[in-house]
Structure 1
Amino acid sequence: MRSASKMAPSAAEFASAWGQPTSTLDWCEENYLASPYIAELWNSLSSVVIIGIPIISLLSFSLWNVEKRFFVACWCFLAVGISSLAFHMTLLYETQLMDELSMIWGGCVLVYLFFSHDSKPNSNSLPLVAFLLLYALCVTLIYLLTKEPVFHQVAFSLQVITVMLRGIQRKYSYSGSLRLLFFSLVLYSVGFVLWLTDTAFCLHLRSIRAFLPTPVGVVLQFHAWWHTLSSLGTHCLFVACCHSRYMFLKRNPRIWMVGCLPLVALDATENGRIH
């Protein structure tokens, strides 16, 4: 959950408890305005959304006998949220790497889900695993050597685009999955536009926020909105893949809504256990 360029540092109300920022990126949000322990308050709070969504998914999956791949995906999603929170709280290079690289490795898990959609139950698709492992290792190595944020952004964007195209190609016959795919595309697109706006017009946004009361100014924290929208978009991709997977396995899945959050439910039971 990135920005494309380094922003000008902002005046701080508190001295950082973590020392001077060492990250190669800073964001449009003003730093250390609420606490010496939180560099970017709203970016940190929006990272909690990235943590909460996979926790809800894990609780939901625990009701059904779903394959381990979906639990692994949720844990990777959760790792991204925790890493994002750590980074935006500290603005340290180490936590920046946690955030960025967890996105790449978690993205590989998402690609795996979509490309093994019609595989046999509990199969491993080892050639696909080997390719994705090589991709993640190469991206990690190149990024550690170059420290170029644009490279990371392109590498992650390729994963998202690949998943979208694969989903549209293979899941057209399942209307519920297709609707979620397009909804995810809308969420990512809107979030990306806000992210670009936050990057390109940072000084203007800061000037406007300075004259607005906090509850109103929060609306203009566009990087925090990127966190929220992209995490919801990623969740929709998970649910679309899970729904399509169990349509393929003839487990009669259905999509149900918990507030604004779609989840997958399976109807059949086996040996007295929800299955």
Structure 2
Amino acid sequence: MSHSVRHFSGDLYADAGVWSPSSSAANFCEEDYVVTIYIAEFINTLSNLAYIYYAFQYIYPRTRSPRIDLMSASLFLVGVCSFLFHATLHQETQFSDDLSMLFLAATLLQRLYCANKPAATARLITTAIFATVTAMSAYYVRSGDLVVHTSMFAGMLTLVWPRTVYLIHHRQGQDKAVLYGKLGRACGCLVFGFLLWNVDLEMCLRLRYVRSVVGLPWAWALELHGWWHLLTALGAAVYMDLIRDLCP
């Protein structure tokens, strides 16, 4: 999962990889092709397996229905697309990563805003959400402007949490504290991951120096974008579980 307009250049092995040269608009603090010529960013790539792991926990509903859970499917898609992007650092795979994030946000909105709605209204809401995402995705790919993607993703997430709080507040029963606890855990993971992601961007040179001093494998613990993947995978999984409780 990307969310970056920074491009770190000058890596010693950047032009020695199977997928060289990099063509993506985004790049990250992990040095390219240091571990293997087959993977551009080793930790940033492998850490995406967390999305796939959590996706398979709930990809089929608890009712054992053959219907696939769209939220889990979208989380799986994020894991695969982000894996390919960080492994290759190509613009095409960056687009796939970015668009998978928009699809994930769309599935959250669809589940939340269709809850307790008549079937006809739910179909209208679903059509509106996915039509808007499709149109904006096409515009983003055509323009290549990361600001378009970032603004749209942030806007969609801004619509997620108020609806979640509304549904918890109007929940009948005595489990509101449990639900708010889940919301807090999910948001805590996401916010902490976002913090580490920003530290990785803003303090890259210092992090690279410390990594060079401690050496492998301990240096991998300081690949903070990888921690962003792990924490957002966990946070998304908890949040999706909360949505399933609210919108069965």
- Is residue 40 of structure 1 aligned with residue 41 of structure 2? yes
Q: Does 1:141 align with 2:138?
A: yes
Which residue identity does 1:83 align to in structure 2? Answer: C
Distance 1:198 1:207 in 2: 13
Give how far 1:65 is off.
Answer: 4.3
Counterparts of 1:124 and 1:39 in 2: how far apart (Å)? 46
In structure 2, the partner of 1:238 is: 240
Q: Secondary structure at the match of 1:171?
A: helix
CA apart distance, 1:199: 1.2
TM-score (norm 2): 0.89
3-state SS of paired residue (1:178): helix
Q: Write out per-residue CA displacement over residues 56-85 of structure 1, whole angstroms, 9 at most, x where no aligned residue.
A: 2226x3x524694x6122112111110010
TM-aligned CA deviation for residue 124 of structure 1: 7.3
- What's the offset of the Cα at 1:33? 0.9
Q: Closer, same or farther in 2 for the Cα pair 1:66/1:186, shift >3 Å?
A: farther
By percentage of residues, which structure has more helix?
2
Shift of 1:117: 2.2
* Secondary structure in 1 matching 2:247: helix
Give the counterpart letter for 1:12 in structure 2. Answer: Y
In the alignment of these two chains, the number of paired residues is 242
Q: Supply the distance in 2 between the matched residues of 1:210 and 1:226 (Cα, whole angstroms).
A: 21
Once the two structures are superposed, what CA deviation does each residue of 1:167-213 show, in whole Å capped at 9, x if it has no partner? Answer: 01211333332221121111111111111111111112111111113
2:90 to 89, 92, 98: 92
Alpha-carbon distance in structure 2 between the residues aligned to 1:26 and 1:202:
12
Identity among equivalent pairs (%): 24
Name the counterpart of 2:63. 64
Q: Deviations for 1:192-248, whole angstroms, at most 9, x for unmatched residues?
A: 1111111111112111111113233222211111111111111111100111224xx
> Can you give the 5+ residue segments of structure 1 that lack an aligned partner in the other structure?
247-275
Alignment match, 2:13: 12
Q: What letter matches 2:93 in structure 1?
A: T
Measured in 2, the distance between the counterparts of 1:218 and 1:123 equals 51
Distance in 1 between residues matched to 2:231 and 2:179, nearest whole Å: 18
Q: Is 1:195 aligned to residue 197 of structure 2? A: yes
* Cα distance in 2 for residues equivalent to 1:133 and 1:206: 41
Map Cα deviations across residues 10-51 of structure 1 (whole Å, 9 max, x no partner): 221882112311111111001101111100000011111111
Task: Assess if the C-alpha contact under 8 Å between 1:117 and 1:241 holds in 2.
Answer: no
The question of 1:55 aligning with 2:52 is answered no
Q: Structure 2 matches for 1:1-275, cutoff 5 A?
A: 1-9=1-9, 10-12=11-13, 15-58=16-59, 61=61, 63-65=62-64, 68=67, 71-119=69-117, 125-172=122-169, 173=171, 174-246=176-248
Q: Per the alignment, do residues 73 and 3 of structure 1 end up closer, same or farther by CA in structure 2, a change over 3 Å counting?
A: closer
Retained in 1: the 8 A contact 2:14–2:20? Answer: no
2-structure distance, mates of 1:146, 1:160? 22
Amino acid at match of 1:17: V
Q: Which has the higher strand share?
A: 1
> Would you say the 8 A contact 1:6–1:25 is kept in 2?
yes
The one-letter code matched in structure 2 to 1:136 is V
Amino acid at match of 1:50: Y
Distance 2:123 2:100 in 1: 21
Mapped to 2, the partners of 1:156 and 1:232 lie a distance apart of 19
Q: Is the 8 A contact 1:178 1:240 kept in 2?
A: no
SS at match of 1:2: coil
- Residues 98 and 143 of structure 1: CA distance in aligned 2, closer, same or farther (over 3 Å): same
- Report the secondary structure of 1:214's partner residue: coil
- Unpaired segments of 5 or more residues in structure 2? none
